[in-house]
A = this chain, B = another copy of it.
């Protein structure tokens, strides 16, 4: 079983509207709160060689990235830490607080207790207004699909390319880009933290549409191959769809990858893509 199957089971209890997006959407007066929570563990989520400051940064960044994908402005972050060693907390807090400051959020406190394996859960709250909230649904055939952010950097860092190790440990959520994209009313958006390929499949499922990706449009950084860029996880870019004219007239951040199609699934220059990426599994 993997986490996508678990989410399916949960959606049968609480409703699929509650599990479809990375953020919960909560209405407060004329504002919308985008709220997201993420759990990370030392062994499964933090790469070897990462510092405690970077663990704090990364923990904040994963949640801030979920908020960015709705176009909301991050305002507050809470952090719960299960600590194997209490001396680690100060650097973790400093790292999380730095990420909050960079993206305009307040580090608002949290909870600590002792635990055998370092475990961190961050919960972030973003604010936007109802006309600018962007969800995973809204893609329409004929639109273009675009990505904003580097591809494969984190995966390359994980595979040992030290030029990209900092990209792996200090991911940079696309908060300001997300706010710009929501102002311009892109059709749908999500972050690509589990990998570009699996995120395209997620959007395909959410929108009952497909994607035809032009392999030549997938931008490759120095030393990074297509496999790493397309299937690797840990980069915090934003994947979105919109009308081609909207993209061009507003000079939207990011690059075009291909087009939205009626037929479900993901194709790369005509061939079916593999549905794989980052996923938690239970054996």
A281 to chain B, nearest CB (A): 7
Indicate with 1 or 0, residue by residue over A26-37, a CB within 8 angstroms of chain B CB atoms.
101111010111
A19 within 8 A of B: yes
Please name all residues of chain B whose beta carbon is closer than 8 Å to the beta carbon of A18 when the two chains form the complex. 106-109
- Given known contacts A26-B76, A97-B13, is B115 in contact with A41 (CB within 8 Å)? yes
A85 within 8 A of B: yes
Tell me the count of chain A residues lying within 8 A, CB to CB, of chain B. 60
Please name all residues of chain B whose beta carbon is closer than 8 Å to the beta carbon of A68 when the two chains form the complex. none
**A213 to B28 alpha-carbon distance, docked (Å):** 41
Q: Is the interface of A mostly helix, strand, loop or mixed?
A: strand
Indicate with 1 or 0, residue by residue over A218-256, a CB within 8 angstroms of chain B CB atoms.
000000000000000000000000000000000000000
Interface residues, chain A, with chain B CB atoms under 8 Å away: 1, 3, 5-7, 9-10, 13-14, 18-19, 24, 26, 28-31, 33, 35-39, 41, 44, 75-76, 78-83, 85-86, 89-90, 93-94, 97, 106-117, 119, 121, 123, 125, 127, 280-282
